[in-house]
Every structure is written in C-alpha cells, then in structure tokens.
Homo-oligomer: A and B are copies of this chain.
C-alpha cells in the first residue's frame, strides 16, 4: 500500500517537475500525499470530449464545490452560466477564438464576476451601487469567480471529467454579455469546458516551473529564479519536442509580453469593462 502511494507520488512529481524533484521528495522521507493532492497533480487540459452529457447531479456537485470556496467577506460576488445549447455554443465559440473545444463542448461554464446581484439588492433597499467603479470592486469579483472556478475544475476532474479553461471568453466582452444576457456590473472572467474526455485523444500533464522558482522564502527573489527558469526551458522544450512541437517557453513569454500588439483584441478589455459598469477607478 505505502509502496503504491510512494510510486504514485514519484510519478506525479516527475511528470510535473522532472525526476530530480521526485527524488528529492523521496529522500526527504516525509510522505505527504493523498487523493486530493493526487487529483490536483494529475490535472491536464482536455480539449476533445465524448458526446456524452454532464449529468444534472454532476453539474450541481461541481457548482456546490465552487460555492464552497472562500469568498471575500462572504459577499459571493460571482455567478456561473452553464451553456449546453449547440447554437449558442457555436456563437460563443465564434466570439472566443473559434476553438473547437468550445464549439463542441458538452458543457461550457462561464464564470462571471458579479456585482449585479449586489446592485439589485442595493436597489431593493433604495440605495445606489456607489462603489462598483473601484479597481478593488472588480478585483473582488474576479477573485471570487476564480476561486469558485478552480474548485469547480478540480471537482469535475475528481468525477473523471475533463476540463479546459477558456481565457478567450474575454475576447469580445460586449458581444458575449449580450449572448449571455449579462447585466451591467457583471462580466465573464474565464470559461471552463467540462465533459467526458475522449480516451483516443492525447492530453498530457504539462511540466511546470520548479517549486523553488515560484516559491520564495520571506522575500521575493528575482535573481534566484534564473537557474530554475533555464532548467525549465530545457525540460519543457523536451516535452514540446515529444509532442512534435517546435516551441520554447521563453519565446512564448517574450512573444506575449514583449511584442507590441500581441494581446490583440484583449487590449480593449479596459474599454469593454467600462461599458459593463466597471470604471476601474
């Protein structure tokens, strides 16, 4: 039994961080491992699904997991829109980078930063939603929606379902809001496709930056990350090559943030949020 657990942890750590981290953990001698950690470490993005639908009870369990995540001051500034209608999914796919994962999604969950509910409550109490325009207010909604989404993603995976996040849901916020009937003071932060994974399609665990690159002790250290970043570039390049891709993580980072225009339509997010009632003051 313990041998199986040790082997499971070793394999999970090796896929994510390489064999050196797996060996380090084993030498450390303290076996910190369980079903939750195993489910978390095994995460991979799934983009091809069987046509089978996600059941109502699975959906409710996923949303119950989401709503059990922490919420700032228990304000619960989020909602989720579950989309299964094929025509609507097609229109949303067209707004969100034309991804087949969206177009063919068994279920698309759209996670919404939601101050509209608070606005309605204020209105019913003859008050105005005077604080929605601050950056902090938008951030409260984004953080609440994202905490909920991640609990949902893990819950789905624990049920044997596959997931993939859709950041492209932010490509056309105004049109998406019309499609989903999102009221003022709400906007879609991220999408999550959920379904039964197609077992014939590859979906690999993706290597990540080493634990010691992202984890800082007492104070942030930029220089200390350099060796680990180089180690990661080598490790993920090997992963990309195995997948038949010519790719470099460093080129991906430089391409996104050091290349004018690389954010494309999402450069317009500020104006789109203003139109949705988030002035970001």
Interface, chain A (partner B; CB < 8 A): 13, 16-17, 25, 28, 30, 32-37, 39-43, 45, 55-61, 63-76, 78-85, 88, 112, 115-122, 125, 127-132, 134-137, 139-140, 142-143, 146-151, 153-155, 158-159, 163-165, 167, 170, 179-183, 186, 189-190, 206, 208-209, 211, 214-222, 225-226, 229, 249-250, 252-254, 256-260, 262-263, 266-267, 269-270, 273, 280-281
Contacts and interface: CB of A to CB of B under 8 A. Distances in A.
A148 B159 CA distance: 20
Nearest to A261: B131
Given A17-B64, A61-B37, A273 B135 contact: yes
A211 B63 contact: yes
B154 A263 contact: no
Given A130-B259, A154-B154, A16 B68 contact: yes
Contact of A280 (B65, B72, B259, B270): B270
A137 B257 contact: yes
Q: Which of A41, A136, A153 has the most CB of B within 10 A?
A: A136
B257 A131 contact: yes
Helix, strand, loop or mixed for chain A's interface?
A: helix
Contacts of A13: 64
A40 B63 contact: no
Contacts of A211: 60, 63-64, 67
A242 B251 CA distance: 57
A270 B263 CA distance: 21
Given A63-B215, A135-B273, A182-B220, A36 B37 contact: no
B181 A134 contact: no
A216 B130 contact: no
Q: Which of A41, A64, A85, A266 has the most CB of B within 10 A?
A: A64
Given A70-B163, A137-B263, 9 more contacts: A25-B57, A35-B36, A36-B154, A67-B214, A80-B216, A116-B222, A122-B257, A132-B257, A139-B170
A165 B218 contact: no
Contact of A256 (B34, B85, B131, B164): B131
9 contacts: A28-B56, A32-B159, A37-B65, A41-B68, A67-B214, A112-B220, A131-B256, A131-B259, A179-B219
B158 A36 contact: yes
B72 A167 contact: yes
Given A117-B229, A131-B258, A266 B125 contact: no
Contacts of A180: 219-220
